[in-house]
Amino acid sequence: MPIILVLLDITPMMGVLDGVLMELQDCALPLLKDVIATDKEDVAFKDLDVAILVGSMPRRDGMERKDLLKANVKIFKCQGAALEKYAKKSVKVIVVGNPANTNCLTASKSAPSIPKENFSCLTRLDHNRAKAQIALKLGVTSDDVKNVIIWGNHSSTQYPDVNHAKVKLQGKEVGVYEALKDDSWLKGEFITTVQQRGAAVIKARKLSSAMSAAKAICDHVRDIWFGTPEGEFVSMGVVSDGNSYGVPDDLLYSFPVTVKDKTWKVVEGLPINDFSREKMDLTAKELAEEKETAFEFLSSA
């Protein structure tokens, strides 16, 4: 399926965007039909099938989370309004810019005629990180690990959960807990490694994740467009209806989902132990607080 990429940036960055455009041309990608670089919203958002919202205000030294939310509400209110005005009503919107969950909710509220189910935020990078850590520990490839879950916020309160994950060992599928036989690592270092991986990448390369984030975006969009493989689920930040796993209504929360016919569905009925419950509630609480702060700014913006 051929793709036309539309790249939007602010006017002072158009020179840099031209460099990105040249690189994309030089990749000679077989599915890339055209690239349009623009600083105009009416050009960028017109009749889109998929919108990937990457740009957000990054957190600076000494910046309170509240200040970060205020700056981002402004950005994502504008982007939501542009989607409302120019994009197809069937557009699939993926929010990557942090704080991704709350930015996604802000964009959705600012585009009332686009179904809220069409909005999702990226927790696939965390999902891939969790898969990779298990694979490394067991000496298998990431492809041999499936059904890890990222619950909640794309922040350090997220809960990487492998209680329901399976790994292929010697040709047969076994539970990750059973395969590893190392509960203290799974309940301790594994979780903190995934939660803090983004910060570790920044510390090492002085820039935030780039290639791994791009790969995760591709994974997320591909699954929305073509569906998830039979018997597998993935993690996405989607809007809660209040009926799944005790997560309050109208929070943008990362759940395990399956996708079919471009429609996601939360995987229901997974047993949740007390350890998981506590971690899932903690990240929901953070999201509820973020939402409250963001919506104060949204109503006054």
Annotated binding site for substrate: 59, 65, 98, 129
**274-300 and 65-86 helices, crossing angle to 10°:** 70
Strand partners, 169: 172
Q: Closest Cα partner for 3 from 210, 221, 268, 180?
A: 221
Tokens for 125?
């990078």
Residues annotated in a binding site for NAD(+): 9, 72, 96-98
**∠ CA 214-240-191 to the nearest 5 degrees?**
55
**Distance between CA 267 and CA 11 in Å, rounded?**
43
How many Cα neighbours within 13 Å face the side chain of 1?
5
**Would you call 220 a catalytic residue per the annotation?**
no
Q: Closest Cα partner for 76 from 111, 45, 42?
A: 111
Count the Cβ atoms, other than its own, within 10 Å of residue 115. Answer: 14
Q: Closest Cα partner for 131 from 168, 102, 80?
A: 168
Tokens for 54?
């990457």
- For 186, residues 6+ apart whose C-beta sits below 8 A from its C-beta are 162, 176, 177, 180
Q: Which of the following is catalytic: 127, 154, 164, 220?
A: 154
**Distance between CA 192 and CA 197 in Å, rounded?**
8
Active site residues: 154
